[in-house]
Amino acid sequence: MEVRPNPTEDNASIPQPHHRHAAAAPLKQATNSPIPVDTSSVSQRLQKELMSLMMSGGDLGVSAFPEGESIFTWIGTIEGGKGTMYEGLSYKLSLRFPMDYPFKPPQIKFETMCFHPNVDQFGNICLDILQDKWSSAYDCRTILLSIQSLLGEPNPESPLNSYAAALWCNKEDYQKMVHKQYFAGEAFES
């Protein structure tokens, strides 16, 4: 049985997933199941992240809490950053943590309508740290701050919303669309 280290405050000390080891010795691993999932250590990690967020996140314009009884499903909030076209707006997100978190990224979607080059009409987000640049060193606070930063600094070269990407150059029209979709979506939620 493989033993994993306990997550610590300094997440940088967490080793990368042991996929390389499994690939190096496929014959030894053939009869074993994949890395066992210890949901209690994942729950403990999420509890730590929740406490960390509660202590500092609100000051940074980000927050998140478990939705209902499950520690694996959260609702988050991001305030638009000062000096951005999203300033004064508050966005709700859903966060779903996989059983093998932090070795796999959570699934995060905007629940509030968000007009943005890297957010599609369904709230899906195109952000490298949620996909191929994921690291087990990231935590919920880091993710929310990265999404908050993405609002003010989109990547129009890799758009999910090509209309928003094209409009990004025209700041006045772009901001009108941000507010139009935000307030239309808010009325829709009510």
Task: Give the number of other CB atoms < 10 A from CB of residue 30.
Answer: 8
Catalytic-labelled residue, pool 114, 126, 140, 169 = 126
126 labelled catalytic: yes
Closest C-alpha to 78, from 12, 128, 24, 149: 149
Distances (CA, A) of 25 to 30, 31, 184: 9, 12, 55
Q: Give whole-number Cα distances, 16 to 47, 103, 105, in Å.
A: 21, 7, 13
Q: Catalogue the active-site residues.
A: 126
